[in-house]
Amino acid sequence: MVRDEKMKNIEVLAFRFSPTKSFFILDQTLLPEKKKFISINHPRQMSKAIKDMKVRGANLIGITAAFSLAQYTYKNPKAKDILSLARELKESRPTAVHLAKAVDKVLKKKSPLGKLKQALSIYESDRKACDLMAQKAQSLLSKGEGILTYCNTGSLATGGIGTALGVIKKAFKKKKDLHVYVCETRPCNQGSRLTFWELKQENIACTLICDNMLAYLISQKKIHKAFVGADCISLNGDTANKIGTYNMAVICKHFKIPFYVVAPFHSIDASLKKGFSIPIELRPSKELSFYWSQKGADIWNPSFDVTPHKLITGILTEKGFFKSPIKI
Ligand code: MRU
């Protein structure tokens, strides 16, 4: 039995975790139609849930992988397969650096209780980082602005209020009267299914657009700033994020719209000098062809792209603003 004040249960939008008992994640593939939690009883199940994007978002996959591995070790202190399960977890999605970092941090702790505490601390520091980033970003926003965002970067992608979406939610609480334009984010539609849903839950004024409407929308003078998240940042400030983020940055540059990346400091991979070294996940072709089928169609489905630092106005972390090159 864990006897520690800090080892309390956690119940947030994306998961429910009880250190010694159960672990449930919200199946995000069913949103917004259905809100269903599924239980995770083994790290192998967790790897599959991450791969299938039942749970997703750079920060959140790190947190949930850490919880799953730590809980498994706690319940099976003599298990011999921890290292191979950790490897499977790390390989389940290759782009977000948060996943490998979180799993390695849990592995480093010797005792099962130490591993549980580590997982909890990964969650807690993510939650706090989201709050701090949202607070620090408020000076960038003025009343009545039109804001662009991409993919989902809210409570369904993090342990807290979110990265880019956290900034927007905080501004709403401060009555900045923003209007948010949400890109659909093909092919998995995290924008239309998840971000739009999260914003609607909080009554934040928002409009959904298809990804290919961006240039026309901005030309209508409706947009003042863009905020996106990050799955991995190299030392020169190049940033991997959901496929299509690069397009948005190019278009913003064309129209002189400030383009901000909001991500916790550990999104920076200090082992990577430039963005082209960031591993880009290729996903199944059925994500593009699910509503039509042509046998033998050649389909390319990269899940992320890398936005060059020259297109990024600033990278906001809980430690403050960074510009290229990043000094650690
Ligand atoms: O494939 P996903 O849905 O996991 O991609 C998520 C994103 O690209 C987010 O923008 C990113 O994780 C940063 S916010 C935590």
Burial class (CB in 10 A: 0-12, 13-18, 19+), 216: exposed
For a substitution probing ligand 1, which of 152, 193, 211, 248 has the most ligand atoms within 8 Å of its CB? 152
What angle (nearest 5°) sits at the alpha carbon of residue 126, between those of residues 136 and 135? 15
pTM of the model: 0.96
The Cα 150–Cα 228 span in angstroms is 6
Chain Cα centroid distance, residue 251: 23
Q: How many A from CA of 77 to the centre of ligand 1?
A: 33
Positions of the chain with pLDDT lower than 50, given as ranges: 1-2, 5
**End-to-end alpha-carbon separation of the chain, Å?**
40
For a substitution probing ligand 1, which of 93, 127, 151 has the most ligand atoms within 8 Å of its CB? 151
Position 6 scores a pLDDT of 57
Residue 326 contacts residue 319 (beta carbons within 8 Å): no
Q: Which of 295, 277, 276 is nearest to 285 (CA)?
A: 295
Position 295 scores a pLDDT of 75
Q: Atom 5, ligand 1: which residue's CA is nearest?
A: 57
> In the structure, which protein residues have their CB atom closer than 6 angstroms to any atom of ligand 1?
56-59, 96, 151, 153, 157-158, 163, 190, 229-231, 241-242, 303
Q: How many A from CA of 75 to the centre of ligand 1?
A: 30
The Cα 163–Cα 132 span in angstroms is 10
The pLDDT tens digits for 267-317 are 999 999 999 999 999 999 999 987 777 777 899 999 999 999 999 999 999
Residue 209 contacts residue 217 (beta carbons within 8 Å): yes
Which helix (H) or strand (E) segment holds residue 147: the answer is strand 146-149
Position 5 scores a pLDDT of 47
CB-based contacts of 8, cutoff 8 Å, min separation 6: none
Which helix (H) or strand (E) segment holds residue 306: the answer is strand 304-307
The Cα 239–Cα 241 span in angstroms is 6
Atom number of ligand 1 nearest to Cα 96:
12
The Cα 138–Cα 57 span in angstroms is 23
Ordered structural domains, the chain, with CATH:
10-131 (1.20.120.420), 134-322 (3.40.50.10470)
231 is catalytic: yes
Atom number of ligand 1 nearest to Cα 56:
4
Q: Which of 304, 302, 283 is nearest to 92 (CA)?
A: 283
The Cα 308–Cα 303 span in angstroms is 17
The Cα 289–Cα 48 span in angstroms is 21
